[in-house]
Amino acid sequence: MSRTALLTDHQWARIESLMPSSDGSAGRPFRDHRSILEGIIYRFRAGIPWRDLPENFGPWQTVWKRHRRFSCDGTWDKIHSRLLAEADA
C-alpha cells in the first residue's frame, strides 16, 4: 500500500454513496472525492499544515475547501452515523 493511498476499495465503497454530488451546481464539477478524502486523512494523520499536502492530492486549497464544505453540509455527520450503525450491527 502506498503512503498516500489511504482508503481500501472496501472502505471507500462503504462511504462513497454519502458523498455530495455537484450535479446542478454552478461552476466546475467536483474533483474526485476519493483523492480529496485521502488528502484530508493524510493531513490529519501526518499532522501537517494544509499547505504542506503532497501535490498528488490536488491543490491544498481544494482539499481544505472540501473539508470545510463537508463540515458545513453534514457530510461528515452522515459518514460518522453510517459507520457507527454498521459497527453496532
What's the total number of domains in the chain? 1
- With cut-offs at 50, 70 and 90, classify the pLDDT of residue 1: very low
pTM (2 d.p.): 0.84
pLDDT reading at 15 higher than 50: yes
Confidence of residue 3 (pLDDT cuts 50, 70, 90): low
Q: Percentage of residues in the chain with pLDDT exceeding 90?
A: 71
Q: What are the Cα distances from residue 68, in Å, to 4, 37, 76?
A: 21, 12, 10
Domain extent for 46: 34-88
The 10s digit of each residue's pLDDT in 30-89 is 778 999 999 999 999 999 999 999 999 999 999 999 999 999 999 999 999 999 999 998
In a domain, 7, yes or no: no
Other beta carbons within 10 angstroms of residue 44's beta carbon come to: 10
CA distances from 20 to 4, 30, 39, 67, 87 (A): 23, 9, 17, 12, 23
∠ CA 73-80-82, rounded to 5°: 105
Residue 44 lies in a domain: yes
pLDDT score for 66: 93
DSSP 35-50: HHHHHHHHHHHHT--G
